Amino acid sequence: MKPLDFGANGINGSVDQSGRIIALNFYHPEHGYVTLTSADPFPDNRRYDVAAVRAYRKSLAELEGFGVQFDAPIQRVWTSNWVESTTRTGFKFSSGETIIGDTFVYGVTTYQRWKLAGLPARFKGRFSLQLCAYTQLTEGGVIPAPPLEMLVTFDQHEQFGMLTIENPALPAAVCIVAPFSGESYEIETVGAVRVDLPLHGDDVIVCFATGQDAREAQTRALAFYPPTPTHLEDAYQELVQRGRSLFQTSGPQTQVIRGLVYSLNLAVPVGDGACLLTDHMLLPLSWNRDAYYLARALLSRNVELRDIVRRHLIWMFEIAKRIDGAWGRSYLANGMIKDPSFQLDQQLFPLLELAEYVLETDDDVTFQRLEGPMYAVLDMLVARQAEFAPLFPTDETPGDDPIALPYHLSSHILFWKALDKLNRLGVDTGTLKDDIRAAVNHYFITDWNGQRIYAYATDDSGNHHLYHDANDFPTVLAPLWGWCEQDDPVWRATMEYAFSPANKEAWFDGHLGSVHTKAAWSLGDVQDVIVARTLGDQEREARAHAALKQAAAPDGSLPEAYDPATGTVASRHWFAWPNAAYACVHLGAFKP
C-alpha cells in the first residue's frame, strides 16, 4: 500500500503503514532538495538503466521507516490522511490499549506526537541524509551525488535527548529532539546509520528540524521544544481548520482534495518566489507543464491560494534560469536547470499562467513586474519560427521523449491559447494568434479512415505522424478553450482516433496511455472525462470516473500509470499532475 504523505512550507515527507517516516525532504539552496530517508542512494552509474530506475522508484513505496516502535503485541494498525495533509496512525494492542500518533509540519518544524498510555516505546530505524534521488526515465544529465559522510551525535539533556544527523558533504543537517534517554555519543561513518533510543513519558513529542549545518538545525529544534501539549494541539487544530476551509469541495472527494492539498504542499518557498514540484519523493523537480496544472487548480479554488500562483510566476520568470532566453525541460527547486532540452510547451505554459492569473486577479503590479521577461520569452519564440510558415519546432514531446517530426500539434494549440489570453490583457502580438491557427489547419490536417483529423506532428514536407498521448491536454481542451466548436468534425475525428486501438502506441486495454510508460495513464482517464463531457456522453464519463477511482490509492493520489485489470501501480506512486488536472475539471478551470 502506498505510504501516506504530509508537508507544508517546503518540507515534505511520507510515513509507512506504522507511522514511521520513510523520508523527510526539504529545500536546499545548492542541491534543490535533500532527504533524511531510510532508502539507499540510487547509484549514479545506473541513471540510464530504465529498468533499474523503475525498480528503485517502486522500492520507495515499500520502505520501512524510522521512528516510534512498540514492543507490545499489536492487534491492528491503521493509517489515514487528513484534509490538511497530516497523517494519523492508530495502534490497537492485544492488551486492549489504543494509541494514536499524528505527523505534521507546523512552521519550519515537523512533529510527531504520541500518547503512549504507559506502553514502552523506542525510537528506532535506519536512515541517511543525502541528495534526493531524482530518478528519471529520460535522464537529461546526471547530477553526481555527494558522499554519505555522516556525523551523528546524541546529547542527553535533563528532560530530553537531542539526536543530530549531519552530512557535511551536502552540507545539511537534521536535529531530532524527543524524550529520549541514553548515554551521549558521537560517531562518524560513511553510509546509513541505525539508531535505537528508549522513549520515556506518556506524552511523547518528537520534533524534526532541518538546517544547512548542525548548529542551525539544533537552534531551530530547541526554539520549538519542548512545546506544551496544549500548544501543539492548538497548532494542529489550526492546520485542521485551515485545511477544511480551503479544500472541502464537491466531486470525487479524495482525488480532488488530493489534487489541491498536494499542489499546495509542493509549493517550495524560494526567496520571493515559490517553486511547484512535480512530486516530493521520486522527482522533486519542476516542469513548467506540470506546474501549470497545479497553479491552475489553486487559482480556481480559493482566493487565499492565489498568492502561491503569484509567487510561482515570480519563480518562473525571475528565478528559474533560461538558456538563450528559453526555459529548460526541468528544474531543481532553486531555479537551476536540471535538463536543458528545448520543449515548446514548456515556454508557453508560463505565458498562459501569467495571463490567466492577471485576468482573474487584476494584479497589475505583478504583471508590470514580469512584463519585461514576458516580452523576452515572446521574442525568443518568434525568433524560432519556421521560414515557411508560423510553426515552431520542438526538440522533444511533452513526455520528454524524442519527437518523430519537429512541429507538435498540442503545443501550437497551447501557443494560440496563450496569445489569446495575452491579447485580452492588451499585449499586442499582431496577427500571430490567427496565423498559428491557420497554419495548424493547413499543415496538420490529414486523412484517417476517410476522415480529416489532426496529426500529432508534422514537418515542412507534408509528412504526418498519427498519435495522441496522455500528456497532450491542449488537443483535448481545444473546444473548451475556444479553438473550435465542440461539434467540429476534425476535432471529433481526432478524438475518435486518439481513444481507440488505432492509436496503437498509446492505447492499453481501453485506456489512453503513452509510449513513455506503456500502460493505462491516469492523465489519459482525466482526458477521457473531458472528452466525454464535451460530447455529452454520460456513460463514457462514468466509466472514466470509475477508472480513476480504481487507480487511486486510499489517500486519493493518482499514479502516472496503472494496470487497468487490477489497478496496480505500473509507474510513479507519486505524481502531482493527474490529481491537479482532475481537480481543474471539477472546478471548471478550463474555459475560453
- Distance, CA of 34 to CA of 487 (rounded, Å): 50
Question: What pLDDT does 233 receive?
Answer: 85
Residue 40 to residues 128, 130, 424, Cα–Cα distance (Å): 8, 9, 51
Domain residue spans in the chain? Answer: 4-244, 249-586
Residue whose C-alpha cell reads 489532426 in the numeric block: 454
Question: What pLDDT does 251 receive?
Answer: 64
* 249-586: CATH class: mainly alpha
Q: Which helix (H) or strand (E) holds 12?
A: strand 11-15
Q: Nearest 5°: CA angle at 37, between 31 and 42?
A: 65
With contact defined as beta carbons under 8 Å apart, do 2 and 61 qualify? yes
Domain pair 4-244 / 249-586, same fold: no
Tell whether omega for the bond before 226 is within 30 degrees of 0, i.e. cis: yes
For residue 129, give the 3-state DSSP assignment.
strand
Buried b (16+ CB within 10 A) or exposed e, 506-520: bbbeebbbbebbebb
Supply φ then ψ for residue 288, to 5 degrees: -55, -35
Q: Quote the pTM value.
A: 0.96
Q: Residue 42: which residues within 8 A CB-CB, separation 6 or more? A: 53, 56, 133, 135, 145
Which sign does the torsion angle of CA 368, 370, 373, 374 carry? Answer: negative
What string of pLDDT tens digits covers the 592 residues of the chain? 899 999 999 999 999 989 999 999 999 999 999 999 999 999 999 999 999 999 999 999 999 999 999 988 888 888 887 665 788 888 888 888 888 889 999 888 999 999 888 888 999 999 999 999 999 999 999 999 999 999 999 999 988 999 999 999 999 999 999 999 889 999 999 999 999 999 998 889 999 999 999 999 999 999 888 887 778 888 888 888 887 777 776 667 889 989 999 999 999 999 999 999 999 999 999 999 999 999 999 999 988 899 999 999 999 999 999 999 999 999 999 999 999 999 999 999 999 999 999 999 999 999 999 999 999 999 999 999 999 999 999 999 999 999 999 999 999 999 999 999 999 999 999 999 999 999 999 999 999 999 999 999 999 999 999 999 999 999 999 999 999 999 999 999 999 999 999 999 999 999 999 999 999 999 999 999 999 999 999 999 999 999 999 999 999 999 999 999 999 999 999 999 999 999 999 999 999 9
Residue whose C-alpha cell reads 528559453 in the numeric block: 326
With contact defined as beta carbons under 8 Å apart, do 143 and 171 qualify? no
Q: Residue 540: which residues within 8 A CB-CB, separation 6 or more? A: 528, 531, 532
CATH number of 4-244: 2.70.98
With contact defined as beta carbons under 8 Å apart, do 472 and 577 qualify? no
With contact defined as beta carbons under 8 Å apart, do 103 and 110 qualify? yes
- Distance, CA of 558 to CA of 293 (rounded, Å): 14
Supply φ then ψ for residue 252, to 5 degrees: -60, 95
